[in-house]
């Protein structure tokens, strides 16, 4: 697997339809008709022992008789016959099979035996299989209509440079149809069904490599290999092609429904989001988003930063764009003095000089002036892209305007996006001119802003990637002598692991319970934290076995007496091995944890302590290992990051030291992912800038 | 003003065009042509001394000569001539003038004198004026095209039951055009420009009363009378007609742009949001939203609750809807045993029985079965509305399906929404059948969910309104003896005002600084809070004049000495009148404040203490006065409400007492809004349920 040439799938020399039907409305009949009528140039070989001929094509009794070369078999037989059909394809030298048949894993228990048979047939034959339980594949450009359902019953004339991989055929082909109606054409749509062999990620990878593709769209319910998803995101950035990902099954109800749909269990949405943000994925959750981003990226221009100039004849649209750009992370910078001086010359007294620039309807009637404005603004160094609102301008006026905008676009490589609300039929020629000039058109200002924001985001991620290789590891792999360790390690042992990786922990001493009474002075300056050390009290706070802010020797001694009583009341007979006396750390409490996700592997989660994490779920995730620069991003990503940055006169905290600690924690988790299941550093105290961080408690759980 | 009959504006017997032009492309020519050609049945009277006839119509030298009755004058003269034109309208008995002329307040200083002239003309003449600086009004049904710009150059054939009021003509008419292309027709669109006389809110009120209108859309940059906005929201609920409000100018950049656009300063967005949520407003921020909600409300069915059943042939669409419904506050309940038993009979083995119900493509081919499923589910008492996904089904099949769905709709008053991704041209007849049956159709499942969520939200607000009158006041108006009070009241005095309104405050005593040394015992049990009392130290914490958690008499005495030093270092010569010794309150720290907003009047803001308010901006707003039930909603609206409700085994806090205190605070603010500018209760401690709340500090600022 893996070395097969997917161009055989996407540009097959011939296609066999196994289980072909003479009835053009049946699943086995639809593709015969579509391949015959919608322009496919290769061989079409119906296979069905009951017919000598189907729709005027010679029909073969079995797969073995199909002429060579034949690259793809479309399997339309009942599920029970599919495994044998795959084996026959293998013998006949057919490299790819698309299995439309349903009745495997997705129907639960009853389908499992057949699924196992199919899996074995795939393994034995070496045939690469799409499906089963999929709706097929369509590549309108070369007339490839290998599937069934309403979208396969008519010819799709709009061919574009967007490819799509979908885990739901019904949904994917519906999106295809709607996008076409909205002006976006696809070159290929592949539905993957149960993914018995070829998965969505493998296909996305192949499509990123395709020369005729600028954008890959993906509808995902879940993937099994999270790390591959991450790698693919990086490849997308390198290839300068975004993956527009529509991820569903994110809510509780949705996950349950997805599991029952394709039998795909899946990681939590927050991990997908983290993976998407690391790479070249842009999330969409509406056909309009997909169309808007497809259009934006179709122009092959990326902005150098997030600053946008808005030029509008509708003051209202300008106001709306100001809001929307801010929401979407775009900035509307003030224009340079040079630009303003130029604007003052060409614009009469009224109209706004701010950004958004409102040229007012009056001025708009003189397109010369309007385009002067656009040209001036396009040359402003503070402006990375332009959104031009032409409102309802239509007909010949729109055409003239488009022609001049096209001329301006030719003088700059900054993206220019146009919002035109003219009814499409009344501004068709203008739209075509703009299209050809690499200027995407949007029906509303808000949608243009979404396009611009997608470009800015993707460009920013590419810049981050281009900043070079990650920093080297902060520490080498440490041997932690974890052989035989099981269950939950104690606080002291857990902290030793942190120390081995260079993560600061509070100073502490462990003494016998009886020694406390005899203490003449405390080991560290007050205030202190005092804890009972016991293998029988994993939840010390609940057992009353922790006392913080102890301010004197007397208080310490009575605290130990009281804790002992409380602990024994909580768990009679609990062994108490000693008393841990710790420095009381100060600073902002944060939490850092690692877990080994079934799909994404070792993952680090970061958040502020207590309610921020537990109630507000204000946390960020990264995949271990990662460097300190990545950790820094992770830290600043939480909503409450301002607490770390400093606010209302409060000084900033030591974000650098925190980033360092998180990176080290990620190394610890990644180096020992084979034995460590979870690490919980809680609380980790962050001190003012320059004063570092310190872990006050830690817990390591072995696999 | 106010008693005028707006039907004269919306159904005028004749229209004068003052400043009419013979050139059909000019602002004064466009409406002449449009009124003449697009079906208006009343009189059309061009007024222009330079012409005897314009486009075949008799032209009048001045307004005085226009035949009576004439209800509306369209003013197209230059700004400088507009005030005189208004006066002439008054003399000629013309009740309404729509002023298209620009060059008043919106151009800044230079336009102010003309604006004042116009204002005087309006006042003196009694003419009700729309504009100036507006784009006009359109009512396609009766051929009223009273405005200029591209949308006034062609006939709008699609007439619906949606009316729109827009503060941006360019934007509003663009939205009209786009909505029409998407299947929503308007009966009236009015642009309000500078609102020298008739404002957006007055027009919305008139349109809510119109029999031919089900839905009012409004594009707002800002309104001057926030309380009227609130009243209108209530009227919308009573009239059972939603106001779909598109509010812009919400971000910092947006507010600045809006101010420069219509010269409307405006309250903060958070107050608008609070006002919208209290009443019958649903916010939209995209044409698609407007269309989707317009379509949903056009069916005139409201759900009895937020529970939705999803029935789909596309498993993928079902998964997506599960996510989207959850995001939008809709629940997908389990179906009743009775329904499930019925489903088991009609559905074959595979396909999901969960909600979302996936009937799979195979089953879908038998519409009898499919509609049996829909019918069964529609009768389930747990289901308040249904979303049916017909995916790509088209042509005759779609038609048959639509006919059966229509039959089911006739047997229930629950809303049924259909998501059909068939290309519009391939399912037109089906869509029409569904339309007539009161079943709105959406191009994507996500948009259907938005429609359903809008219905559920509006219905919930109507139920809240129907629950009856607000509770009576918790306390009568108190005389606070505030005559002559100025600036910021001290903590002690501020707390007296709270006490007068029944809001609990901590116990405290004020003693002389010198008396502290002689104290033999503390006035309350330790721990205590100790503060210096000084008129010169408004910011006590910064001055080092507060000490919390004082645990002994010795600590108190040394604390007072240290605070005195610190305060005098902070502000040399500060008068120190005494020492306040307070009980140290415990509980969750919250903040309650009131302010007198310029537009919305006295308003209460609530949030958790410290970073929750300052960094996360997790606050809620209500307009004073309000009852405890409203206060309870306000409390539970913040994102971190779980801290009050209890979480992870932590007990719930006294939300009832907190609601009581907030309501009392709102009464205090409302009763004395003439003299009190702000009240800041910070912190207010909330104790466990049943143990009440207590204010530890308070500050009242006089106007």
The ipTM (two decimal places) reads 0.86
- Closest-CA residue to B533 (of B521, B548, B544, B545): B545
Give the chain A residue whose CA is nearest to the CA of B329.
Answer: A251
**B507 CB neighbour count, 10 Å cutoff:** 12
Q: Per DSSP, which regions of A450-562 are E strands?
A: 508-511, 528-533, 546-550
- Give the separation between CA A566 and CA A556, rounded to whole angstroms: 15
Residue range A384-417, pLDDT digits in tens: 999 999 888 888 889 999 999 999 999 999 999 9
In this complex, do B318 and A261 lie within 8 Å of one another by their Cβ atoms?
Answer: yes
Give pLDDT, residue A321. 94
Looking at every residue in chain A, the average pLDDT score rounds to: 92
In this complex, do B315 and A262 lie within 8 Å of one another by their Cβ atoms?
Answer: yes
| CA A207, chain centre distance (Å) | 17
Mean pLDDT, to the nearest integer, of A81-103? 96
Per-residue pLDDT band for B369 (boundaries 50, 70, 90) equals confident
In this complex, do A323 and B447 lie within 8 Å of one another by their Cβ atoms?
Answer: no
Contacts of B394 in chain A (CB under 8 A): 150
Give pLDDT, residue A352. 66
Give pLDDT, residue B2. 46
- Give the separation between CA A339 and CA A375, rounded to whole angstroms: 10
Give pLDDT, residue B351. 56
Give pLDDT, residue A2. 46
Give the one of A169, A249, A422 whose C-beta lies nearest to B319's C-beta. Answer: A249
**B345 CB neighbour count, 10 Å cutoff:** 9
- The answer on pLDDT for A497 being more than 80 is yes
3-state secondary structure B351-413: CCCCCCEECHHHHHCCHHHHHHHHHHHHCCCCCCEEEEEEECCCHHHHHHHHHHHHHHHCCCC
Give pLDDT, residue A363. 58
In this complex, do B253 and A173 lie within 8 Å of one another by their Cβ atoms?
Answer: no
Contacts of A261 in chain B (CB under 8 A): 315-316, 318-319, 352, 358
Give pLDDT, residue B363. 58
CB-count exposure of residue B409 (10 Å: 0-12, 13-18, 19+): buried
Interface of B with A in 141-160 (CB under 8 A): 149-151, 154
- Give the separation between CA B618 and CA B607, rounded to whole angstroms: 6
Mean pLDDT, to the nearest integer, of B508-536? 90
Contacts of A640 in chain B (CB under 8 A): 611, 615-616
In this complex, do A175 and B421 lie within 8 Å of one another by their Cβ atoms?
Answer: yes
Give pLDDT, residue A346. 82
Mean pLDDT, to the nearest integer, of A16-27? 94
Give the chain A residue whose CA is nearest to the CA of B285.
Answer: A446
**Which pTM value belongs to this model?**
0.90
Share of chain B above pLDDT 70, in %: 97
Give pLDDT, residue B352. 66
Mean pLDDT, to the nearest integer, of A30-45? 96
Window from A240-254, A445-459, A681-695 with minimum mean pLDDT: A240-254
Q: Do the beta carbons of residue B590 and residue B636 sit within 8 Å?
A: no
Residue A184's contacts (CB-CB under 8 Å, 6 or more residues apart) are: A158, A160, A162, A290, A291, A294, A295
Q: Do the beta carbons of residue B588 and residue B644 sit within 8 Å?
A: yes
Q: Do the beta carbons of residue B431 and residue B424 sit within 8 Å?
A: yes
Give the one of B168, B319, B648 whose C-beta lies nearest to A221's C-beta. Answer: B319
* Long-range pairs of A181-184 with CB within 8 A, sequence gap ≥ 24: A181/B423, A181/B424, A182/A287, A182/A288, A182/A291, A183/A158, A183/A291, A183/A295, A184/A158, A184/A160, A184/A290, A184/A291, A184/A294, A184/A295
Looking at every residue in chain B, the average pLDDT score rounds to: 92
Contacts of A286 in chain B (CB under 8 A): 444, 446-447
Q: Which DSSP string corresponds to A36-87?
A: HHTT--SEEEEE-TT-SEETTEE-BSSGGGSPSP--EEEE-S-GGGHHHHHH
* Among B134, B261, B310, the residue to mutate for chain A (most A Cβ within 10 A): B261
Across chain A, which distance is largest between two alpha carbons, in Å?
A: 103
CA distance B450 to chain A (A): 12
- Closest-CA residue to A596 (of A489, A526, A651, A668): A668
A206 contact B CB<8A? no
Q: Do the beta carbons of residue A491 and residue A699 sit within 8 Å?
A: yes
CB-count exposure of residue A27 (10 Å: 0-12, 13-18, 19+): buried
Per-residue pLDDT band for A517 (boundaries 50, 70, 90) equals confident
Give the chain A residue whose CA is nearest to the CA of B135.
Answer: A361
Q: Tell me which DSSP letter residue B653 carries.
A: B
In this complex, do B286 and A170 lie within 8 Å of one another by their Cβ atoms?
Answer: no
A250 contact B CB<8A? yes
- Give the separation between CA B36 and CA B271, rounded to whole angstroms: 45
- The answer on pLDDT for A3 being more than 70 is no
Give pLDDT, residue A535. 77
CA distance A380 to chain B (A): 19
- The answer on pLDDT for A466 being more than 60 is yes
User: Locate tokens 């999270």: which residue?
Assistant: A226
B106 contact A CB<8A? yes
Give pLDDT, residue A394. 87
CA distance A590 to chain B (A): 14
Q: Is B251 left (phi over 0), alpha (psi -120 to 50) or beta?
A: beta
Interface of B with A in 635-654 (CB under 8 A): 639-640, 642-643, 647-648
Contacts of B253 in chain A (CB under 8 A): 322-323, 325-326, 332, 356
CA distance B485 to chain A (A): 30
Give the one of B180, B393, B647 whose C-beta lies nearest to A615's C-beta. Answer: B647
In this complex, do B642 and A286 lie within 8 Å of one another by their Cβ atoms?
Answer: no
Give the one of A319, A643, A647 whose C-beta lies nearest to B221's C-beta. Answer: A319
Per-residue pLDDT band for A660 (boundaries 50, 70, 90) equals very high
Give pLDDT, residue B418. 97
In this complex, do A254 and B319 lie within 8 Å of one another by their Cβ atoms?
Answer: yes
- Give the separation between CA B155 and CA B143, rounded to whole angstroms: 8
Interface of B with A in 529-568 (CB under 8 A): none
Give the chain B residue whose CA is nearest to the CA of A362.
Answer: B102
**A239 CB neighbour count, 10 Å cutoff:** 17
Mean pLDDT, to the nearest integer, of A370-379? 90
Interface of A with B in 365-394 (CB under 8 A): 391-394
Q: Do the beta carbons of residue B16 and residue B45 sit within 8 Å?
A: yes
Size of interface A-B (CB pairs under 8 A): 256
- The answer on pLDDT for B1 being more than 50 is no
In this complex, do A168 and B317 lie within 8 Å of one another by their Cβ atoms?
Answer: yes
In this complex, do A251 and B322 lie within 8 Å of one another by their Cβ atoms?
Answer: yes
In this complex, do B643 and A327 lie within 8 Å of one another by their Cβ atoms?
Answer: no
CA distance A423 to chain B (A): 6
Report the length, in residues, of chain B.
Answer: 703
Encoded tokens for A258: 């997805």
B122: helix, strand or coil: helix
In this complex, do B323 and A178 lie within 8 Å of one another by their Cβ atoms?
Answer: no
- Give the separation between CA A94 and CA A86, rounded to whole angstroms: 9
Contacts of B106 in chain A (CB under 8 A): 350
In this complex, do A178 and B443 lie within 8 Å of one another by their Cβ atoms?
Answer: yes
In this complex, do B314 and A174 lie within 8 Å of one another by their Cβ atoms?
Answer: yes
Contacts of A422 in chain B (CB under 8 A): 150, 177
User: Locate tokens 């962050």: which residue?
Assistant: A686
- Give the separation between CA A63 and CA A71, rounded to whole angstroms: 12
Give pLDDT, residue A1. 44
Residue range A624-654, pLDDT digits in tens: 999 999 999 999 999 999 999 988 778 899 9
Of residues A332 and A262, more confidence is placed in A332
Residue range B29-84, pLDDT digits in tens: 999 999 999 999 999 999 999 999 999 999 999 999 999 999 999 999 999 999 99
CA distance A86 to chain B (A): 23
CA distance B283 to chain A (A): 14
Interface of A with B in 412-431 (CB under 8 A): 421-424, 426
B264 contact A CB<8A? no
- Give the separation between CA B661 and CA B498, rounded to whole angstroms: 9
Residue range B259-282, pLDDT digits in tens: 765 555 567 899 999 999 999 999
- Give the separation between CA A250 and CA A336, rounded to whole angstroms: 45
CA distance B85 to chain A (A): 22
- Give the separation between CA A321 and CA A419, rounded to whole angstroms: 10
- Give the separation between CA A640 and CA A647, rounded to whole angstroms: 11
A316 contact B CB<8A? yes
Encoded tokens for B109: 């200083």
In this complex, do B257 and A350 lie within 8 Å of one another by their Cβ atoms?
Answer: no
- The answer on pLDDT for A350 being more than 90 is no
Mean pLDDT, to the nearest integer, of B521-538? 89
Give pLDDT, residue A241. 98
Residue range A420-451, pLDDT digits in tens: 988 888 899 999 999 999 999 999 999 999 99
- The answer on pLDDT for B364 being more than 70 is no
Give pLDDT, residue A610. 79
- Give the separation between CA B450 and CA A285, rounded to whole angstroms: 13
In this complex, do B257 and A352 lie within 8 Å of one another by their Cβ atoms?
Answer: yes
User: Locate tokens 């003095």: which residue?
Assistant: A337
Residue range A678-690, pLDDT digits in tens: 999 999 999 999 9
Instruction: Identify the sign of the CA torsion B524, B525, B526, B528.
Output: negative
User: Locate tokens 């400043």: which residue?
Assistant: B19
């Amino acid at each position: 697997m893996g070395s097969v040439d997917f161009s055989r799938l996407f540009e097959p020399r011939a296609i066999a339809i196994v289980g072909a039907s003479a009835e053009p409305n049946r699943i086995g009949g639809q593709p015969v008709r579509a391949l015959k009528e919608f322009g496919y140039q290769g061989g079409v070989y119906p296979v069905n022992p009951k017919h000598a001929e189907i729709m005027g094509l010679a029909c073969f009794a079995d797969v073995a008789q199909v002429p060579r070369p034949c690259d793809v078999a479309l399997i339309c037989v009942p599920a029970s016959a599919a495994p044998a059909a795959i084996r026959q394809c293998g013998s006949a030298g057919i490299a790819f099979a698309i299995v439309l048949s349903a009745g495997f894993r997705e129907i639960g228990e009853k389908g499992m035996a057949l699924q196992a048979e199919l899996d074995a047939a795939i393994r034995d034959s070496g045939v690469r299989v799409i499906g089963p339980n999929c709706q097929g594949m369509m590549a309108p450009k070369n007339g490839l209509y290998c599937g069934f359902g309403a979208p396969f019953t008519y010819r799709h004339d709009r061919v574009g440079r967007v490819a799509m991989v979908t885990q739901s055929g019904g949904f994917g082909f519906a999106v295809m149809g709607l996008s076409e109606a909205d002006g976006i054409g696809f070159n290929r749509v592949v539905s993957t069904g149960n993914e018995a062999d070829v998965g969505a990620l493998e296909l996305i990878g192949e499509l990123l490599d395709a020369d005729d593709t600028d954008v890959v769209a993906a509808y995902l319910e879940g993937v099994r290999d999270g790390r591959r998803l991450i790698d693919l995101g990086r490849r997308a950035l390198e290839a300068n092609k975004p993956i527009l990902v529509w991820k569903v099954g994110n809510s509780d109800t949705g996950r349950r429904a997805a599991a029952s749909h394709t039998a795909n269990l899946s990681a939590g949405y927050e991990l997908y989001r983290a993976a998407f943000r690391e790479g070249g994925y842009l999330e969409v959750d509406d056909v309009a988003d997909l169309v808007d981003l497809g259009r934006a990226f179709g122009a092959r221009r990326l902005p150098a930063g997030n600053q946008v100039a808005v030029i509008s004849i509708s003051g209202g649209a300008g106001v709306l764009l100001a809001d929307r750009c801010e929401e979407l992370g775009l900035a509307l910078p003030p224009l340079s003095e040079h630009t303003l001086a130029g604007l003052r010359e060409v614009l009469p007294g009224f109209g706004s000089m701010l950004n958004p620039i409102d040229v007012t309807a009056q001025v708009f009637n003189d397109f010369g002036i309007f385009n002067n404005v656009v040209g001036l603004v396009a040359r402003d160094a503070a402006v990375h892209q332009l959104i031009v609102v032409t409102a309802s301008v239509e007909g010949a006026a729109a055409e003239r305007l488009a022609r001049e905008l096209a001329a301006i676009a030719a003088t700059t490589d900054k993206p220019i996006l146009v919002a035109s609300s003219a009814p499409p039929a009344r501004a068709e020629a203008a739209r075509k001119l703009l299209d050809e000039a690499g200027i995407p058109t949007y029906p509303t200002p808000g949608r243009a802003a979404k396009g611009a924001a997608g470009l800015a985001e993707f460009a920013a991620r590419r810049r981050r990637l281009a900043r070079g290789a990650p920093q080297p590891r902060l520490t080498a792999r440490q041997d932690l002598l974890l052989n035989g360790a099981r269950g939950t390690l104690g606080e002291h042992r857990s902290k030793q692991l942190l120390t081995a990786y260079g993560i600061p922990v509070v100073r502490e001493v462990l003494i016998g319970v009886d020694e406390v009474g005899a203490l003449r002075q405390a080991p560290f300056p007050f205030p202190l934290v005092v804890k009972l050390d016991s293998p029988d009290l994993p939840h010390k706070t609940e057992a009353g076995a922790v006392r913080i802010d102890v301010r004197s020797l007397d208080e310490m001694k009575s605290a130990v007496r009281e804790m002992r009583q409380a602990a024994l009341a909580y768990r009679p007979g609990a062994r108490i091995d000693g008393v841990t006396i710790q420095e009381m750390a100060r600073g902002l409490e944060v939490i850092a944890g690692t877990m080994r996700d079934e799909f994404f592997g070792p993952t680090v989660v970061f958040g502020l302590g207590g309610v921020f994490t537990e109630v507000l779920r204000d946390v960020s995730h990264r995949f271990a290992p990662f460097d300190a620069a990545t950790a820094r991003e992770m830290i600043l990503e939480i909503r409450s990051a301002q607490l770390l940055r400093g606010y209302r006169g409060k000084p900033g905290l030591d974000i650098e030291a925190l980033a360092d600690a998180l990176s080290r924690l990620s190394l610890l988790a990644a180096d020992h992912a084979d034995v460590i299941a979870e690490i919980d550093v809680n609380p980790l105290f962050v001190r003012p800038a320059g004063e570092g961080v310190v872990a006050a408690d830690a817990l390591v759980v072995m696999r």
